[in-house]
Structure 1
Amino acid sequence: MSRRRDAVVRRGLRHIGRAIHEQPGMFTLALLASSLYGAMTVASAYVIGEITDRVLLPSFDDGVTTASALTLAALAILGVAVLKILGIIGRRLFAGVMSYRLQAEYRRRVTGQYLRLPLSWHQRHPTGQLLSNANSDVEASWFFVAPLPFACGALVMIAITSVALVLTDPLLAVVGLIVFPLVFAANVIYSQVMSPRMQRAQQLRAEVSEIAHESFDAGLVVKTLGREDSETERFAVRTDQLRDGLIAVGRVRGLFDPLMEALPSLGTLAVLLIGAQRVADGVTGAGELVSVAYLFTLLALPIRAIGWVLADLPRALAGFDRVTPVLEASGETPHGPDSAVATGGGAAVAVREVGFAFDGAARPTLHEVTFEVPAGRTVAVVGPTGSGKSTLAGLLVRLVDPSDGTVLLDGMDLRRLREGEVSDQAAFVAQSAFLFDDTVRDNVTLGGPFSDEDVWAALRVAAADGFVSALPEGLDTRVGERGASLSGGQRQRLALARAVVRTPRLLVMDDATSAVDPAVEARILDALRGSESPATVVVVAYRQATIALADEVVWFEDGRAVARGTHDELLDQVPGYAALVRAYSQAAEVPA
């Protein structure tokens, strides 16, 4: 038990040191302001003591005082008060800046790490947890910073006070200062008791966020299948657990805070009881007792400030323990020094002996896949469900890297290209089109430097210019969250226009036209192939109308590219291909 307590204390002190190291300038300014406040607080006690001895007591004895004495006393009190106010303003201002800078910096680090880590890492971590890491966990990690300079300034104040007390009356100093070991012991025990409770509360916060995100994301499923009650129950169970966890935290803190409030008051009471007797015995003066008692009264707030820091450390450690794995996560996508060949037209693509396996998968998704796509050609990748087509599409635009083999763009390994080169040369359009709650224009450009003429040209290629022109505000029409005001086919066409406007040399579409009718699909593919500088197109397809528009077809089975040729050649030579294509064709004809 003692080892665990020491570990919590040591980790807490290291975390405090980390905060100071990250923001030394703001901490120094806040500490100086806090020290000014502490010094003026000590000075105020002596000013009051001197006024008691030199002004108040003589006026009681003589029954009269002078205007000059009262003026000097008022000026002394006012001067000390003004300096204390400056200390308070500086302490709060610089401590607040320090706290918010740390939170902002670590949010940038966490989100930057999210961008660097590969898609496979994100697939292992729920979105709700990632949101919690970047928000509540980062906030909790540095919540203790706001009172930290005050607490450090309080140590300066306590040091000054301790020396002054010993010089004034050693016995009263010993009686009063016994409070501090008690405060330290109480905080050590509190940290040990609170730490697991805070860790549990932070974990439950993340789980509540995760369930809420899933429920909102799956709103269509929940509504259409009538699962509102079950989702409400699932959310209620976790929120009840979070409530109970926070109540457990509150109970411990409810015992700790009154204790921290009481200890300084008990010290002051002990000083007054013993000091009154010493004044009666003539050992010490009334002014000295007033100064000592007032000092201990003023020390109550700094002691509480130390308690605030120590009370927040368990929560800070719990939050930082959840942020650290993200910051230390490995597997970010490495980049090389090379640049892609800057030529017009399509890019030549080659896949050589590529294998890929998801983490924890029983067997690889792709095995020794090899094929080439000449520049400017359109190739359809066809295969049954689970054959690895979508995985291959992700590899071609480097959403993931192969476990074995290489993917080449104009003869260059994608892993050797500089950061940003792949996205400059290649574009990817997924089957599930994501649109932001923004205008049509901004959903196509995504903040890129494209004119309205560029946007309309891309919309024409994607066969989306007609319905966009009919929208109430044209390009300025907001499409709603995830494009809720548009049909599935319209969303797909806007997603395709988003890719086309960037004039990629390689366009990879993962069944990205499944929600549009064959006539529109044919128009889209003809426009892609008929442009002045046609891109190389790799399309994952199922429908015969799509496949027939490709120059060549690659047939996948069980993660292998087992055949390639024209559509007619594969119909004659590959029974599995013929069966799949005819099955989809027959399924499409049934409604008619």
Structure 2
Amino acid sequence: MRQGLRVLGVAIRTEKAVFAAAVLLSALYGGMTVASAWALGWATQNVVLPAFDQGDITAGALWTGVLLIIGAALLKAVGVAGRRIFAGVIQYRMQARSRRDVTKQYLRLPLSWHHQHPTGQLLSNASADAEAAWAPLAPLPMAVGVIVMLFTAAIGMLITDPVLALVGFLIFPAIAVLNLVYQRKLSPLATRAQQLRAEVSEIAHESFDGALVVKTLGREAMETERFQRRAHELRDANIAVGRVRGLFDPMLEALPTLGVLAVLAVGALRLSTGSIDAGELVQVAYLFTLLAFPIRALGWVLAELPRSVVGWQRVQAVLDATGSMEYGAKKLSDSGPAELEVSEVSYAYGEAEVLHEVTFDVRPGRTVALVGPTGSGKSTLVQLLARLVDPSRGRVLIDGADVRDLAYGNLAESVALVPQQTFLFDDTVRGNVALGLTADDEEVWAALRLAQADGFVDRLGAGLDTRVGERGASLSGGQRQRLALARAVVRRPRLLILDDATSSVDPQVEAKILYGLRDAAEASSVVVVAYRMATIALADEVVYLDKGRIVDRGTHEELLGRCLGYRNLVTAYEREEAERAAIETEEEEEEVSA
């Protein structure tokens, strides 16, 4: 309960004016509801009973009763409409604010944090959890406002007849006990249901994201079963929550009704003894029936509190996450190829260190190839160069400035990374290449020409306006890579990092791309992760990594002559082709001699 009230307090402090307006209008509704009870009692005593006793009433008395009842009803309607509008405003504003805060935190946290949290979980934090955290805000203004109704009704009953009021008030201790039991029963069930929502989202995201793998390996039935199993667990958890709420709500509804029955029973005895008149009994009984609604309103808030607390805690776990990247105030030059220096850089995933005191440099305008066997740390090193993660030890410097000292966003203005796995949005070619950059069509076409993508884009149905489909589904792997490369070069980066970004492009096109990058009017320094000998041979220098360490560096010819591991790696494909050709020649000679 305390945690839930603290969550609500955050919303009230954040949206003071809106909440105050909602509560005032709710108070108007509550006050007019009590006023309608008084009007009904007045009409009973001054209009209905005289009509029965005398057979006649005055026009003044009749119109007074009508106007009192209609006036209270109209003001009550204004209170209802205003309360609902402002309650919705505060609820949806807080949900939107939480979603923005969570998304900003996702963008602020380093890639290493995202590696530790499944995507489905992150989606749930930004959607279902943010929604659940502020669910009680819809009934909250009504619940706070109708407290006015409770106090007004209680005072009215005490003034009218203290005995009947005390009889009716016996339900409040019962409600308190009922709510205590309810909170303790529902809280763990709500926590479990919210966690299962995230797990169901996670499984669905994995299945959709890996649709190609699922279908090519015939895993549809297994994925369906995996999703179905978790979905059934969520169903059962929600049923358990509904069962507790289903037990709580009727009991909450029943208590005010039992109070009304007790008031009528005792009131009938007091009416027979002349202690009260009929109008007073009607007024007290009606006031007590009105108490059922504010009690229900309070119950709606209390019913949502456990789920709200769980959603808030899950959102706060993201907002309180550590590991954010700190930024300085330095800014890089905005022209000319950049100078890169990697000084004694080490990096570890948990306890496993994958890079060990790596040191090398890239002089302005030069192309350096990073070469090494699988698992040697090349992709991790690329992430460090683009500052997707920070090194455990050592420094990455651009133009002599540590990348950790640069102002937020400044590195992205000078450095572009084309990753191994390209990603295209379900947008046009122009939208995917520019991607938020203010670039005219001529600049987009220039980038496409440099990436050797202008030919196939020109052949597309609508050229730059052609939609490429989700993740570029309408394009081949090589076409997607070339669009991703165009996206990078249109920004005219001073340092371009290619993480095996041309692996799906044939060698001739790849050579044209690399020559084009070198000969461009605004040349960049280039770091390329490469496997093909044709690609490596185009680099000014090669850095050979193995097991997270730099084994050797120099030109391609120098490393071929002195580094056995490098020679075996880059000539493996050629050696395999030569061996296969020799075997085929030998088999042909045997057939001829036979």
Q: Give the structure 1 partner of residue 87 of structure 2.
A: 95
Question: Is the Cα contact below 8 Å between 2:42 and 2:65 reproduced in 1?
Answer: no
SS of the equivalent of 1:448 reads coil
Q: Give the structure 1 partner of residue 592 of structure 2.
A: none
Kindly indicate whether residue 54 of structure 2 is the aligned counterpart of residue 62 of structure 1. yes
The C-alpha deviation readout for 1:556-580, integer Å capped at 9, x for no partner, is 0111112110000000010000000
Q: Give the structure 2 partner of residue 312 of structure 1.
A: 304
Kindly indicate whether residue 443 of structure 2 is the aligned counterpart of residue 454 of structure 1. yes
Amino acid at match of 1:475: L
Q: CA deviation at 1:341?
A: 2.1
User: Is the alpha carbon distance of 1:571 and 1:532 closer, same or farther for their aligned partners in structure 2, counting shifts above 3 Å?
Assistant: same
Amino acid at match of 1:350: E
The C-alpha deviation readout for 1:99-136, integer Å capped at 9, x for no partner, is 00000000000000000000000000000000000000
Q: CA deviation at 1:19?
A: 2.1
Q: d(CA) in 1 for partners of 2:579 and 2:511?
A: 21
Q: Give the structure 2 partner of residue 236 of structure 1.
A: 228
Taking the TM superposition and a 5 Å limit, the aligned residue runs for 1:169-248 are 169-248=161-240
Amino acid at match of 2:386: V
Q: Give the structure 2 partner of residue 354 of structure 1.
A: 345
Q: d(CA) in 1 for partners of 2:189 and 2:506?
A: 57
SS of the equivalent of 2:571 reads helix
Question: Is the Cα contact below 8 Å between 2:164 and 2:263 reproduced in 1?
Answer: yes
Q: 1:518 aligns with which of 507, 529, 554?
A: 507
Kindly indicate whether residue 366 of structure 2 is the aligned counterpart of residue 374 of structure 1. no
Bigger mean CA deviation after superposition, 175-184 or 435-444: 175-184
Q: Give the structure 2 partner of residue 44 of structure 1.
A: 36
Equivalent pairs counted in the alignment come to: 581
Q: Give the structure 1 partner of residue 455 of structure 2.
A: 466
Question: Is the Cα contact below 8 Å between 2:370 and 2:543 reproduced in 1?
Answer: yes
Kindly indicate whether residue 524 of structure 2 is the aligned counterpart of residue 535 of structure 1. yes
Q: Give the structure 2 partner of residue 299 of structure 1.
A: 291
Q: d(CA) in 2 for partners of 1:508 and 1:584?
A: 25
Q: d(CA) in 2 for partners of 1:375 and 1:16?
A: 56
Amino acid at match of 2:572: A
Q: d(CA) in 2 for partners of 1:159 and 1:297?
A: 14
Q: Give the structure 2 partner of residue 132 of structure 1.
A: 124
Q: Give the structure 2 partner of residue 80 of structure 1.
A: 72
SS of the equivalent of 2:493 reads coil
The C-alpha deviation readout for 1:70-110, integer Å capped at 9, x for no partner, is 11211111111111001001110000000000000000000
Taking the TM superposition and a 5 Å limit, the aligned residue runs for 1:381-396 are 381-396=370-385
Amino acid at match of 2:316: T
Q: Give the structure 2 partner of residue 561 of structure 1.
A: 550
User: Is the alpha carbon distance of 1:589 and 1:124 closer, same or farther for their aligned partners in structure 2, counting shifts above 3 Å?
Assistant: farther
Q: d(CA) in 1 for partners of 2:401 and 2:214?
A: 46
User: Is the alpha carbon distance of 1:169 and 1:389 closer, same or farther for their aligned partners in structure 2, counting shifts above 3 Å?
Assistant: same
| TM-score, structure 2 as length reference | 0.96
Q: d(CA) in 1 for partners of 2:407 and 2:45?
A: 78
The C-alpha deviation readout for 1:249-292, integer Å capped at 9, x for no partner, is 11101100101111111111111111111111100111111111
Amino acid at match of 2:6: R
| TM-score, structure 1 as length reference | 0.97
Amino acid at match of 2:551: V
Q: CA deviation at 1:586?
A: 4.4
Q: CA deviation at 1:297?
A: 1.1
Kindly indicate whether residue 414 of structure 2 is the aligned counterpart of residue 425 of structure 1. yes
Q: CA deviation at 1:68?
A: 2.4
Q: d(CA) in 2 for partners of 1:395 and 1:244?
A: 45
SS of the equivalent of 2:526 reads strand
Question: Is the Cα contact below 8 Å between 1:542 and 1:584 reproduced in 2?
Answer: no
Q: d(CA) in 1 for partners of 2:314 and 2:220?
A: 31
Q: d(CA) in 2 for partners of 1:345 and 1:96?
A: 54
User: Is the alpha carbon distance of 1:591 and 1:198 closer, same or farther for their aligned partners in structure 2, counting shifts above 3 Å?
Assistant: farther
Bigger mean CA deviation after superposition, 535-544 or 15-24: 15-24
Amino acid at match of 1:352: S
Q: d(CA) in 2 for partners of 1:137 and 1:456?
A: 44
Q: d(CA) in 2 for partners of 1:346 and 1:161?
A: 78
Structure 1 stretches of at least 4 aligned residues deviating more than 6 Å after TM superposition:
588-592
The C-alpha deviation readout for 1:364-404, integer Å capped at 9, x for no partner, is 11111111100000000000111111111111110111110
Taking the TM superposition and a 5 Å limit, the aligned residue runs for 1:489-528 are 489-528=478-517
Q: 1:409 aligns with which of 390, 398, 406?
A: 398
Q: d(CA) in 2 for partners of 1:532 and 1:389?
A: 29
SS of the equivalent of 1:407 reads strand
User: Is the alpha carbon distance of 1:590 and 1:190 closer, same or farther for their aligned partners in structure 2, counting shifts above 3 Å?
Assistant: farther
SS of the equivalent of 2:191 reads helix
SS of the equivalent of 1:158 reads helix
SS of the equivalent of 1:347 reads coil
Question: Is the Cα contact below 8 Å between 1:544 and 1:585 reproduced in 2?
Answer: no
Q: d(CA) in 2 for partners of 1:114 and 1:538?
A: 28
Question: Is the Cα contact below 8 Å between 2:545 and 2:551 reproduced in 1?
Answer: yes
Q: d(CA) in 2 for partners of 1:416 and 1:495?
A: 28
Amino acid at match of 1:546: T
User: Is the alpha carbon distance of 1:108 and 1:331 closer, same or farther for their aligned partners in structure 2, counting shifts above 3 Å?
Assistant: same
Q: d(CA) in 2 for partners of 1:366 and 1:112?
A: 30
SS of the equivalent of 2:343 reads strand
Return 5+ residue gaps in structure 1 as ranges: 1-8
Q: Give the structure 2 partner of residue 331 of structure 1.
A: 323
User: Is the alpha carbon distance of 1:586 and 1:294 closer, same or farther for their aligned partners in structure 2, counting shifts above 3 Å?
Assistant: farther
Question: Is the Cα contact below 8 Å between 1:543 and 1:585 reproduced in 2?
Answer: no
Q: 2:137 aligns with which of 141, 145, 161?
A: 145
Q: CA deviation at 1:189?
A: 1.1
Q: Give the structure 1 partner of residue 590 of structure 2.
A: none
Q: d(CA) in 2 for partners of 1:338 and 1:182?
A: 65
Q: d(CA) in 2 for partners of 1:590 and 1:574?
A: 22
Q: d(CA) in 1 for partners of 2:228 and 2:84?
A: 39
Q: CA deviation at 1:179?
A: 1.4
The C-alpha deviation readout for 1:124-170, integer Å capped at 9, x for no partner, is 00000000000000100010110001111121211111111111111
Amino acid at match of 1:247: I
User: Is the alpha carbon distance of 1:465 and 1:168 closer, same or farther for their aligned partners in structure 2, counting shifts above 3 Å?
Assistant: same
Return 5+ residue gaps in structure 2 as ranges: 582-594
Kindly indicate whether residue 5 of structure 2 is the aligned counterpart of residue 18 of structure 1. no
The C-alpha deviation readout for 1:383-437, integer Å capped at 9, x for no partner, is 0111111111111110111110100000000000000001000000011110011
SS of the equivalent of 2:353 reads coil
Q: d(CA) in 2 for partners of 1:178 and 1:324?
A: 40
Kindly indicate whether residue 280 of structure 2 is the aligned counterpart of residue 269 of structure 1. no
Q: d(CA) in 1 for partners of 2:491 and 2:575?
A: 37
Question: Is the Cα contact below 8 Å between 2:252 and 2:299 reproduced in 1?
Answer: yes
Q: Give the structure 2 partner of residue 442 of structure 1.
A: 431
Amino acid at match of 1:506: L
Kindly indicate whether residue 239 of structure 2 is the aligned counterpart of residue 250 of structure 1. no
Q: CA deviation at 1:318?
A: 1.2
Amino acid at match of 1:73: G
Amino acid at match of 2:189: R
Q: CA deviation at 1:590?
A: 9.2
Q: d(CA) in 2 for partners of 1:589 and 1:494?
A: 35
Bigger mean CA deviation after superposition, 291-300 or 106-115: 291-300
Q: d(CA) in 2 for partners of 1:135 and 1:248?
A: 22
User: Is the alpha carbon distance of 1:586 and 1:154 closer, same or farther for their aligned partners in structure 2, counting shifts above 3 Å?
Assistant: farther
